[in-house]
Structure 1
Amino acid sequence: MWLSLLLSLVVAWWLPLAAPEPASPSGATGGQLRRLWLQDHCHAGICTNVQIGRSDYVILSQAPIPNQLMLTFINSSIAKIPHLLFDTFPDLQMLRMENCSLETFEKPQFEGASNLMSLFLGLNRLKDIPKNIFLGADNLATLHLHGNQLKHLSNHSLHALKELKELSLADNIIEQLPLGLFGGMRKLMDLNLAGNRLAALPRGIFDKNLNVTRINLARNRFTAFESELLKLQPRLSLLDISGNIIQELTLNFSLLELAVAHSCDLRRLTVYGIVRELDLHNNSLRELPHIPQAVNVTSLDLSQNPLGNLQGNPLRRFTALLRLNLSTTNAHELPEGLLKKQTSLQMLDISGNSMYSLKITLFDSLKALQYFYFQQNNWNCDFLQLLMSSFVKRKDLSFMEDITAPELVDDYVDGIACWYESDKTSKKCDASSSDAALELSVVRNEIKAFTEVVEKKFIKVYRMLEEMKMKL
């Protein structure tokens, strides 16, 4: 009797210590075992005002919620993906936790996530991707991790993602990539590495990604680029290396739909093989790129380059051009035969230059032209009226009006600013004379050139300061 009474007292004393704390409401502070009823926060796949702390252990629901294919969290503070999320939503195919303060992954994070196809975790605070963390997400096809704080990745960080087709690691602080990072992604098609701190890539890093069609390496720290890195990618259609400081560039692809290399301080470009579209704006080119098979180029953007007056007929091989942008290239004139071979041209932009007049016969071959942008030049009013009546209006071309202030011009022709001859009371004169018109043109071009140089130097200084900061 005494023994049983003693045992009863011990059990009565021990049970309050061993029993778990009662479940708290969803507003409880972190570190507690609490229930979170997502039914109260979610409607039609949109969840708002969900709060999950880093140390919270969350029970999402008493029973699985079937047939929920998508969850998007808005205006939520989530430091981690709840451990039982995919048990609660076994049919989930898309999960969006963007801008949710996500800080860490916890193993086994994706257990039971075999139906998950798309995962968007951009604009969070992730600093690391643990080894094999994606085990369980065997069918994941899209993964976005842009805008986090990722710096170092290992060969096993993205292990198990054999079905992945689209991957974004843009706008992190990644300095280098291990050779085997993408080795298991045989189906990878779209890779975005823009906005990191990459200065080089290991040779062979893409050798197993034979299906890649789009690669974005913009806004990194490359000073050179080797086409040899992508020699095994016959389906590559887009390469973006803009925003790097690459003064000389050679591209060699059998077929490339679009090459983007703007804002690189590029001074010389050679392209072998076939390229359809080239975006080269805001560089330091003083001559057209050397493209032996220029006959295949359909779009060429050379705006904001110091090309000046193009001599001879440098476009004679670009016979398939549909779009040509020569805006802000410091041009005073265009040679009469410049556009003779561009019979398929649909868009022509010569705005932002210092042109006074042109020979109307320059446009005789442009039978397919639909869009013509020629504002912000130094047009003579008499010539501009002729241009409008005999070409622009006659062909019913789309154009843009000028934004030049009225007090700075003599007149407007259909919204385009112009100036009269100097022997009349004018502010603008013949471009061939050393009068106010030419002086204004020269000063304006010098200001443009100076501004571009300052911008490029600022970018270099900013990057140097960033590197010094990292070393400190």
Structure 2
Amino acid sequence: MRARVRNQGVPLIMCMLLLLLVATAQCRNEDESDFSTETETETEYTTTLASVESSTQPNNDKQLVYIENLQKNCHLKRGTVRCSGFRFDDIEKVAFFSLPTQVRIAPDGATYELGDKQHLGTLIMENSTFINFPLHLFYELPLLSEVDMRDCGMQYVSWEGFLAANKLKILLLSGNAISELGESSFSYASELEFLFLSDNKLSSPHPDAFKGLQNLIHLDLSDNQLEELPERIFHDLAALHTLIISGNRLRFISNGLLTQNTRLQTVILQGNQLQQLGEYAFSSAPHLLHLDVSHNAPLEVLVLNLNVVNLRARNCSLTRVNLFGAVTNVDLSDNRVQELYFSTSELLEDLVLRNNSLGQLATLSRVPRLRHLDVGNNPQLGELPTDWQKPHLERLDLSNTGLQQLPQQLLEDMPNLRKLNVSNNKISDIDPHDFKRLSRLTHFYIHANNWNCFSLRMVMDVLILQHGITYTPDKVDDDFMGSYIKGIACMYRLPEREQLKSQSDTESSASVEYSQHSDRDATSDVEMLRREFKAVVQHLEQKFDSVFAQLSSLNAKMNSLEHMNSSLWNQLTITV
């Protein structure tokens, strides 16, 4: 705005100017409410209407405390305003933004203009306290797209605070003490896309608290005190992609809670007190990428009909899991799962069932896309399916599953296997030639088993050391009665096949001489023990021979030293 007046003296000009500024302040529009920090130059000077920084007046049951100057508490840099030191810790007082209009007058005294607009897109409040969300903020700073008021001690948020917030896209209110959300609390911020309300004290929000937020993409309600969610609380959030409700006290998720949120991609429900999930609670989201219901101790049964890429349900109390629909990666570790069913197991790529109570894996007979399977710490599992279809399997963990041997067919059907863990089992013998098809094997963990030293030495020499395969040695125990081969503990005893041959020979002869059956059984047992004892004695004799050879070598060196010493004394002459 620019105007020219007749030259009748500076006092007349100033009077007219002040009258004009008063009228302008009463009719202030959005374009005149930008915060300006322009400095005085040689050719112009600045006059403001702000004579005080704050004043008060009653507004219903609370007082309005006017903020008329930001220069003392705020710093402007590249469209971002950082403010600190505001203290509105009286619950009966509400901050009200009312910023002054700035005017510049040319040196000739005949021209004036209002201050230029500044494009302030971000407001950050640091080390400040606002018990109530401030009023009139978006009238004074209409271009704000991001407001960060985390850790401000805020307790109350109402719809009045968001009038004219039609440019706001990101609102951060985490780390406050907000306990209630009324009806349509954010409806005037219709363009809001990211809303962070984590780490507050929300317990029972109004069913229409988020009404009007059709553009909201991300909603974080984690670490509050939510016990129940109204059925329609998310129905207006048609664009919602991410919903985080972890760390609350929820006990139930109904089938109708998310029916209108068809664009959901991520739902985080971990760390609640969930007892039940509706079977169709997530079926309305056909493109769900992540669902996490971990750390819900009361949850014992998980029956879901859904399509999801990543499903995590760790550390619950699950005993039965039935999944209907397309599921790609599943983590059910640290539960008590006994019953497991996948309607489309052929789509599985990553499955973690570690630390459960599984007794069989019949449901996994058809897993052609499976790349990673971890069933470690299921000591009752025992035998594995022999008809697995797993041509793409790359990592297999069978540690602590009660295995006594590895089926040859199991190894033949895994040409892409890179990592195999059979530690903490009862395996004593493995034929390294059974691994001839595992040409890509790079890691083979065999520690903490019941190894026969004869078989272990062959596995080490023919398979592990020859191909540079990584393994983990056992922890050395000084009281262990056996031996260590390349760091793996073992005991010397007859190979399993020789024991079986001896038993079969005994059974044959028993069929011919039935009358001596008992004597021959006893004789075979004694013979087997005698041969095992002989094998141990032979091993000890080898060690004794080695020690004796070293002692003999040491004795020879000592004799040589003694002979040298004797010769030296014979040639030594002492003169007195």
Q: Structure 2 length normalisation: TM-score?
A: 0.58
Once the two structures are TM-superposed, the CA of residue 184 in structure 1 deviates from its matched residue by 1.1
> Residues 62-461 of structure 1: matches in 2 within 5 Å?
62=100, 66-244=118-296, 245-253=298-306, 255-286=307-338, 289-306=340-357, 307-308=378-379, 309-313=381-385, 316-326=388-398, 329=400, 331=402, 333=404, 335-336=406-407, 337-338=409-410, 340-345=412-417, 353-354=424-425, 359=430, 360=432, 366=438, 372=443, 374=445, 377-378=448-449, 418-421=488-491
Once the two structures are TM-superposed, the CA of residue 344 in structure 1 deviates from its matched residue by 4.2
Once the two structures are TM-superposed, the CA of residue 368 in structure 1 deviates from its matched residue by 5.2
CA, structure 1 residues 272+57, in 2 after alignment: closer, same or farther (shift >3 Å)? closer
Number of aligned residues: 393
| Alignment deviations for residues 366-401 of structure 1 (CA, whole Å, 9 cap, x no partner) | 55556x4748745859677766665566666677x6
**What is aligned with 1:51?**
86
- Check the 8 A contact 2:74/2:83 in 1, yes or no: no
CA distance in structure 2 between the aligned counterparts of 1:405 and 1:60, rounded to whole angstroms: 75
**What is aligned with 1:40?**
74
Q: Percent identity?
A: 22
The 3-state SS of whatever aligns with 2:346 is: helix
**Could you tell which deviates more after superposition, 84-93 or 161-170?**
84-93
CA, structure 1 residues 57+189, in 2 after alignment: closer, same or farther (shift >3 Å)? closer
- Check the 8 A contact 2:66/2:98 in 1, yes or no: no
**What is aligned with 1:438?**
none
| Alignment deviations for residues 290-318 of structure 1 (CA, whole Å, 9 cap, x no partner) | 22432221111122224214313278145
- Check the 8 A contact 1:300/1:325 in 2, yes or no: no
CA distance in structure 2 between the aligned counterparts of 1:31 and 1:331, rounded to whole angstroms: 72
| Alignment deviations for residues 259-294 of structure 1 (CA, whole Å, 9 cap, x no partner) | 11111122222223321101111111356x322432
CA distance in structure 2 between the aligned counterparts of 1:110 and 1:272, rounded to whole angstroms: 44
CA distance in structure 2 between the aligned counterparts of 1:58 and 1:349, rounded to whole angstroms: 65
The 3-state SS of whatever aligns with 1:230 is: coil
CA distance in structure 2 between the aligned counterparts of 1:331 and 1:60, rounded to whole angstroms: 74
CA distance in structure 1 between the aligned counterparts of 2:294 and 2:209, rounded to whole angstroms: 27
CA distance in structure 2 between the aligned counterparts of 1:202 and 1:154, rounded to whole angstroms: 17
The 3-state SS of whatever aligns with 1:227 is: coil
Once the two structures are TM-superposed, the CA of residue 121 in structure 1 deviates from its matched residue by 1.8
The 3-state SS of whatever aligns with 2:388 is: coil
Once the two structures are TM-superposed, the CA of residue 22 in structure 1 deviates from its matched residue by 4.2
- Check the 8 A contact 2:383/2:403 in 1, yes or no: no
The 3-state SS of whatever aligns with 1:229 is: coil
Once the two structures are TM-superposed, the CA of residue 96 in structure 1 deviates from its matched residue by 2.7
**What is aligned with 2:38?**
none
Q: Structure 1 length normalisation: TM-score?
A: 0.69
CA distance in structure 2 between the aligned counterparts of 1:402 and 1:343, rounded to whole angstroms: 26
**Could you tell which deviates more after superposition, 173-182 or 239-248?**
239-248
| Alignment deviations for residues 76-101 of structure 1 (CA, whole Å, 9 cap, x no partner) | 44434332332343322223333332
Gaps of 5+ in 2: 1-49, 56-62, 102-115, 358-377, 494-528, 530-576
Once the two structures are TM-superposed, the CA of residue 320 in structure 1 deviates from its matched residue by 4.5
**What is aligned with 2:541?**
none
CA, structure 1 residues 312+77, in 2 after alignment: closer, same or farther (shift >3 Å)? same
Gaps of 5+ in 1: 1-19, 424-432, 434-472
CA distance in structure 1 between the aligned counterparts of 2:450 and 2:349, rounded to whole angstroms: 29
- Check the 8 A contact 2:484/2:490 in 1, yes or no: no
The 3-state SS of whatever aligns with 1:228 is: coil
Once the two structures are TM-superposed, the CA of residue 200 in structure 1 deviates from its matched residue by 1.6
- Check the 8 A contact 2:180/2:202 in 1, yes or no: yes
The 3-state SS of whatever aligns with 1:188 is: coil
CA, structure 1 residues 213+384, in 2 after alignment: closer, same or farther (shift >3 Å)? farther
